[in-house]
């Protein structure tokens, strides 16, 4: 019988997990929240239009701006996860944007991934909502 990820990851596993792995899952989780939000707010839009809207929330520049806007609200643990993601050497480079924004975005995604895998869903939802508010202001 296969084990689900929620049954095999403890707190120590999450703290020592590669920040790029956290960012990998965080990217998907964040984009899913954004897509859900956009569909709820734009029920009759075409998929291509929804995709164009989503880009404003998920591009590296936006994520870098978001993390800067909420950084003062992060707990010590969250800040440590963000910094580990931001400082991790990546083997990829941004297609559109600069490397500094890309690094901050990676830290943001690592934080989202960490909160998701740690099942801190209320905190995750709060930070995603703050992100949406920031982009939509």
Catalytic choice (27, 65, 101, 118):
27
Radius of gyration of the chain (CA): 15
Instruction: Classify residue 71 by its DSSP letter.
Output: G
Output the CA–CA distances (angstroms, integers) from residue 46 to 10, 49, 129, 131, 137, in the order listed. Answer: 41, 5, 23, 23, 23
Alpha carbons 47 and 39: distance in angstroms, whole number: 9
Pull the structure tokens for residue 9: 């990851």
Q: Is 118 a catalytic residue?
A: no
Cβ atoms of 104 and 64 within 8 Å: the answer is: yes
C-beta of residue 88 within 8 angstroms of C-beta of residue 18: yes
| Residues labelled catalytic | 27
């Amino acid at each position: 019988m296969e084990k689900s990820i929620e049954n095999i990851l403890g707190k120590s596993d999450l703290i020592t997990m590669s920040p790029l792995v956290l960012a990998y899952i965080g990217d998907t989780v964040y984009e899913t929240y954004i897509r859900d939000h956009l569909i709820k707010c734009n029920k009759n839009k075409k998929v291509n239009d929804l995709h164009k809207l989503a880009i404003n929330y998920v591009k590296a520049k936006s994520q870098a701006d978001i993390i800067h806007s909420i950084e003062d609200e992060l707990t010590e643990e969250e800040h440590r996860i963000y910094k580990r993601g931001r400082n991790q050497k990546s083997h990829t480079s941004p297609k559109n944007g600069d490397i500094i924004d890309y690094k901050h975005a990676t830290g943001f995604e690592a934080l989202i991934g960490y909160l998701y895998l740690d099942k801190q869903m209320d905190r995750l939802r709060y930070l995603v909502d703050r992100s949406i508010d920031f982009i939509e202001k």
